[in-house]
Amino acid sequence: MSMPHTALIDTSAIFALSNQNDPHHVHAGDELKMWLSRRNTLILSDWVFAESMTLLKARLGVSVALRVGRELRSNPVYRWVALSPNDEREVWTSFQKYTDKDWSYIDCGVWVMSQRLRVPQVFAFDRHFKQMPGVVCLPK
């Protein structure tokens, strides 16, 4: 049996898992099942949670946002981690440095969290993570 691993989860993965019409929905579900069958953990940043709730409510409605939010907050598979004031300063620095990229402020937050926690894996369908040094996108 392999050792458990950890990855950060991005809004793009949460949305794909939550939306049956998303082109990545089936792939996201398969990846999540495989990931969790190995007793792995997903790190959920407070910023990704906030962005996910906003996106889900706007695109899929309040009932979906509440259902998904309750799952993310109560399932021990998701480890909640807040960005610190130092992290936020690093996010701002990264956001200013990589102006040639279309990375969102939240994307930069996930990247900073990945670096601080030394967790290179990010469960995401957002192409921007493939541009980030040191990040390994899941699914591969």
CATH code of the domain covering residue 47: 3.40.50.1010
The pLDDT tens digits of the residues spanning 27-81 come to: 999 999 998 898 899 999 999 999 999 999 999 999 999 999 999 999 999 999 9
Asked if residue 40 belongs to a domain, the reply is yes
Q: What is the pTM of this model?
A: 0.94
Asked if residue 109 belongs to a domain, the reply is yes
DSSP structure string for 28-72: HHHHHHHHHHTT-EEEEEHHHHHHHHHHHHHHH-HHHHHHHHHHH
Asked if residue 51 belongs to a domain, the reply is yes
Q: What does the block give as tokens for 50?
A: 């906030």
Asked if residue 1 belongs to a domain, the reply is no
The total number of structural domains in the chain stands at 1
Please, how many CA atoms are within 13 Å of residue 24, restricted to the half-sphere of its CB?
19
The pLDDT tens digits of the residues spanning 111-134 come to: 999 999 999 999 999 999 999 999
- Which domain does 64 fall in, by range? 6-138
